[in-house]
Structure 1
């Protein structure tokens, strides 16, 4: 019998017959070994009651990995004293659920009655038999709402242990700020002092402004009169600062030297009379950051800048692209092509301008080929005005879509008319006012 000399040929032929299967996780679940998992998931997802789901999970531990994926998908992964799973009245069900879900929660909410439920909740989960959950490592956001009668500083101290990786803390509760520095990875700290029963303490706010180097967003605006007085700020990673004028007026120069600052929002305190000093601070910011300002937003009814400011300052802003100036009642209308860099403007708002005329509005838009967002007041919010804007845009070569916003858009248009303009190629109506939101009781700057 002759020998097979071409062994390489036969080896390659045999190798070609072996079909390479994809990894198990990439295969379609249509083979018999996984049918029981598919059936179980369908049955489990048909169960609405969480208590029944937990009991089923306890009865079939081999399916717990799939169950956790389902819970992670369908539950909002929010932990706190008012969350739905506290309805698990059976202590063993509760312990089972918490032990398996502790590392999957991504947010904590403390709300309604505030300090009481939180303290009870913390005590509840740390003293139950056979449960030792003191940390939620994946929780990066905590929202504390409500109107408690006492300071909740002690709860913040407990939170620093429970939430070691917290990145965002939003609160309107009564805090002095004493324990905030316990959050070593905090990037966003937002105080909304809605109730004003306990003011923020200047000492702790000063420590935060000097030592919490991880902060990217700091909002300590008080809706009333701020008691915080700062003398220095050193936050190398800070990108957004929202603050009251009385808190920031002595450190404006330090603020403007922050290397990564992108937004500065200043609110006037309620009891302070508007005066020339505030105009000076506004102009101080404009002059110091003129080369970097991309957006100015102000409420002229509050700031009350005189007519002359636009002539001397707006012309010196080479990178200005967005301008939101509401409630302008000066006789001299300055928003025209003589005073702003029209060729680069992307956002303009006329919502609070009672004196702007159609010819001025259309002329401005015609001079702004890069305009992407335009806000109109009720007088200019009409089908006729949109048609005239469309005629202007049609004359441009490949213009970007112009989104037109007005608070009266819904009232002035029928649903059919609204959808007609919503789908237009060059001029589109929108109800999204995010481009025009700002500190209405003061002013804002965005920097490059």
Structure 2
């Protein structure tokens, strides 16, 4: 279950990272397309301005600025002139009647809808150090019927004007110096539609990838659940079979004990013991026993050496006292690990035992080893490494599982390390207090 949760969390994390990357790429594609389309809109707007220059008449910027220059210290005169020129210029001159038709001709071969506006936004009296225009009310020189909401400025102008004026009726005889600033703005009104149209294929591909991965994960998770269910049912069946064997085994042992000696009786006893050992390993039934002593260790080493005469067994024992480990558990741990080494073609096995503040047990062999990719699973019940060598060796995949359970019984720790190409080392640490 923990592995399943870990796999799910890993997928979710990877999935979120993928979504973030896809969103980042789509967003950047959006910005690039937006920039490119605005660039094209600016080119069209420049073309419109060039066309408008052909129609400059008395109602040109110069004419307007000339009138604006004729301002005096008489506030009433100044306000009157500004108001007159603004009304006269807004949407009533030849310039404005041409801008929409020119714009329509320029965008005829495109899907663009462009709004344009040119305005004077500052007339600054340098002599009096005063702004003559209201910042919120610029003088519109010309604009399209479509208004600008969030446009971009693509053309700005600034120029100075110096002149003198005399008016005997109004008693005006002064020198004037004005700084005039103008700007032209444009906006691609259907920008979002055009960008969306451009990046739609990329968005669909990204969405398809995300949906495909989601579907594949769902199918994988579903198959994994099904496999786990089947494995669980298999484990239950094996455990049930082992449990059912206890009754006939007991009957066979009782019958055999009351059977007269014969040539076949020792053979039957060995087979019954073999069945008992298999059933016992499946149930991992270990009865309580006394604490392990130094004498018990020596006896065990002597027996195991005699039992596995085909291997070279080296032992290094340092015993300063045992306050935790039971004899049966010690024998079960060592027996399973050494049997495993012999089973997987080890010729040499080294056993290191150190009973101090902690109990340290090390088993090193030179057998066929355990692949690194399989090491996280070797302590699972019934797990066997999938490789040709293992297929030729009998086993239930219970030995290391039993060792792991016994170590955990003492709140200990067990690790496995590969040794070069061949061999493996198991290290066990148990508390000794």
The two structures share one fold, judged by TM-score above 0.5: no
Larger CA Rg, structure 1 vs 2: 2
Structure with a larger share of its residues in helix: 2
TM superposition score normalised by structure 2 = 0.20
Structure with a larger share of its residues in strand: 2
